[in-house]
Amino acid sequence: MTWTVVVQAFGLVFDPYVLGVILASALFGLFVGCIPGLTATMATALLVPITFFMPPVPAIAAIVTATAMAIFSGDIPGALLRIPGTPASAAYTDEAYAMTKKGQAEVALGAGLVFSALGGLFGTFVMILSAPSLAEIALKFSSFEYFWLVVMGLAGAVFIGSASILKATMSLLLGLLIACVGNDNPAAHPRFTFGITELAGGVSLIPMMVGMFAVSELLRFMVNMDPPPVIATERIGNVFRGMWELTKQYKWPLVRGSALGTIIGIQPGSGADMASWMSYAMSKRFSKEPEKFGTGHVEGIIESGAANNSSLAGAWIPAIVFGIPGDSITAIAIGVLYLKNLNPGPTIFTNQPQAVYAIFLVFILANIIMVPLGWLAIKAAKNVLRAPRNILMPVILLFCVVGSFAINNTVFGVALILAFGLIAFFLEENGFPVAPAILGVVLGGMMEENFVTSMIKSDGNPGAFFTRPIAGGLAAATILIVFWPLFGWAWRRLRAA
């Protein structure tokens, strides 16, 4: 790392415009995370049309900051309403609510805030330490290795943490087919365009994401029949009291949660939700007092609160180094990077190192300002939670309309958000997860390009995918991931017999 690059990165981030963007997106993220029914992914999808008009660094800064804030502030309605603000808080919502019932709302929220920030910083430092050296390895990769890397990423998205592997696979394949639409293929032949000129360039990524993550959520709000929630407490004390003692008492759960969260973040396709569920389970498993879990015990909140925020940074490691998103948020962010001609991949470290260091700095900054801003958000929570959603949701819909129009300046974008909103809504109602489809669309182009290049290089001999040493190793790892559930199933069958 040369110091001039770091100085340049500081210059890029500590610019009044960029700092303004960070502050605004932080407040936006806190607000969206706090409103049940609006997720961190939706916050990103809503931001993207605006970031489309920004230079690369503030665009990425906006996404990073808003998601980090939204993942924390999802804890607030969890503790006060027993409804997680974002799915990443769902694992410990009952725990936090039980603490509120015992009159410890400030401890639950304080732990959520402080340990979210610490977990986020942990993940950031892992990213800073590992990304450059991984990039050096990645520079040696050819199309064969990239093909396997993409397949491995997609396999991970499907096989880790899906309720139904078959349905997740089908969702992924659907995404890959959507990526085929358009003229961008070996012979520039118009594929699946139905004669629509707007489809010649492929399905526009941003309207598609706005449809799948924002419009589908709005549709779900419209059909939600649950009664309106009730705020459990009006009084929240000093959220920072006792946090230092908790840090000392639970330093190992904190480290364990942060480490697990980072690893789950790195693993493509599994993000903050998974990190939080898994580390909550792990916390209970290793706790000295597992019987207290579920009755309003802070230990699980510390561990999984740190995990879900550290996974955000973890997800950026494969995103920057290989251009393979670690979760649906980085999938959107990668789409933005491509639009900005800041193509992620190992060469970004040699071509635009200052941009990479700027992303690192934004992560550090976002996790630091999370503490004072999060404190403000908790103070304002009572009012934010009363925000009339029957006014908010229509305004968000109009925002989606304008945002999707703005990308190509045609109403075709609006037609896309309608189509993909409905597709995502029905897929989810029938138990098909949506995230694999997004990963498929983002990675489809890269996968086809590396597949076709490799096939041409090897004169059509598929054996070449296995004979290069690194490619062979990656192939073995991929096959292991793909067949792991099968091994597990066979093993259980054998033991049962």
Partner 1 sequence: MKLDDAVTGAIFLALSLAVLWDIQGYPKIPGQNVGPSAFPGLIAAILAGCSIALMLRGLRARGAGAGPWMELLPWTRSPRHLFLFLLTAAVLLFYVLLADVLGFLVCGPLMLAAMMLSLRVRMPVAIAVAIVATVVIHLIFYKGLRVPLPWGLLPVLY
Measure the CA–CA gap between 262 and 283, rounded to whole angstroms. Answer: 16
187, 230, 496, 497: which one binds partner 1 (CB under 8 A): 187
Which part of the chain contacts partner 1 (CB under 8 A), choosing from 79-87, 216-224, 254-262, 285-293? 216-224
Regarding 174 and contact with partner 1 (CB under 8 A), the answer is: yes
Measure the CA–CA gap between 462 and 390, rounded to whole angstroms. Answer: 56
Give the pair of three-digit tokens for residue 80: 């006060």
Sites for partner 1 among residues 109-168 (CB under 8 A): 166-167
6, 364, 455, 464: which one binds partner 1 (CB under 8 A): 455
1, 163, 391, 494: which one binds partner 1 (CB under 8 A): 391
Q: How far is the CB of 445 from partner 1 (least distance, A)?
A: 10
Regarding 395 and contact with partner 1 (CB under 8 A), the answer is: yes
Q: How far is the CB of 471 from partner 1 (least distance, A)?
A: 18
137, 231, 232, 411: which one binds partner 1 (CB under 8 A): 411
Task: Please return the burial class of 172, using the count of CB atoms within 10 Å of its CB with bins 0-12, 13-18 and 19+.
Answer: buried
Give the pair of three-digit tokens for residue 322: 């290989």
- The whole-angstrom distance between residue 387's C-alpha and the CA centroid of its chain comes to 26
Residue 186 or 294: the one with the smaller Cβ distance to partner 1 is 186
Q: How far is the CB of 186 from partner 1 (least distance, A)?
A: 5
Count the residues in the chain.
497
Regarding 417 and contact with partner 1 (CB under 8 A), the answer is: yes
In this structure, are residues 443 and 153 in contact, taking their beta carbons and an 8 Å threshold? Answer: yes
Regarding 53 and contact with partner 1 (CB under 8 A), the answer is: yes
Give the pair of three-digit tokens for residue 260: 């697990």
Q: How far is the CB of 486 from partner 1 (least distance, A)?
A: 13
- The whole-angstrom distance between residue 45's C-alpha and the CA centroid of its chain comes to 11
Regarding 63 and contact with partner 1 (CB under 8 A), the answer is: no
Regarding 230 and contact with partner 1 (CB under 8 A), the answer is: no
Regarding 20 and contact with partner 1 (CB under 8 A), the answer is: no
Residue 206 or 266: the one with the smaller Cβ distance to partner 1 is 206
Q: How far is the CB of 189 from partner 1 (least distance, A)?
A: 4
Measure the CA–CA gap between 340 and 321, rounded to whole angstroms. Answer: 17
Which part of the chain contacts partner 1 (CB under 8 A), choosing from 132-140, 323-331, 428-436, 468-476? 428-436
Measure the CA–CA gap between 278 and 281, rounded to whole angstroms. Answer: 5
In this structure, are residues 150 and 447 in contact, taking their beta carbons and an 8 Å threshold? Answer: yes
Q: How far is the CB of 216 from partner 1 (least distance, A)?
A: 10
Closest CA to 299 of 267, 253, 342: 253
Residue 391 or 494: the one with the smaller Cβ distance to partner 1 is 391
141, 148, 277, 451: which one binds partner 1 (CB under 8 A): 451
Regarding 475 and contact with partner 1 (CB under 8 A), the answer is: no
In this structure, are residues 29 and 67 in contact, taking their beta carbons and an 8 Å threshold? Answer: yes
Which part of the chain contacts partner 1 (CB under 8 A), choosing from 79-87, 125-133, 220-228, 304-312? 220-228
Q: How far is the CB of 423 from partner 1 (least distance, A)?
A: 11
Q: How far is the CB of 55 from partner 1 (least distance, A)?
A: 14
Give the bridge partners for 191, in sequence order. 182
Site residues (CB under 8 A) for partner 1? 50, 53, 166-167, 169-170, 173-174, 176-177, 180, 185-189, 191-192, 215, 218-219, 222-225, 388, 390-391, 393-395, 397-399, 401-402, 405-406, 409, 411, 414-415, 417-418, 421-422, 426, 429-430, 432, 447-448, 451-452, 455-456, 459-460
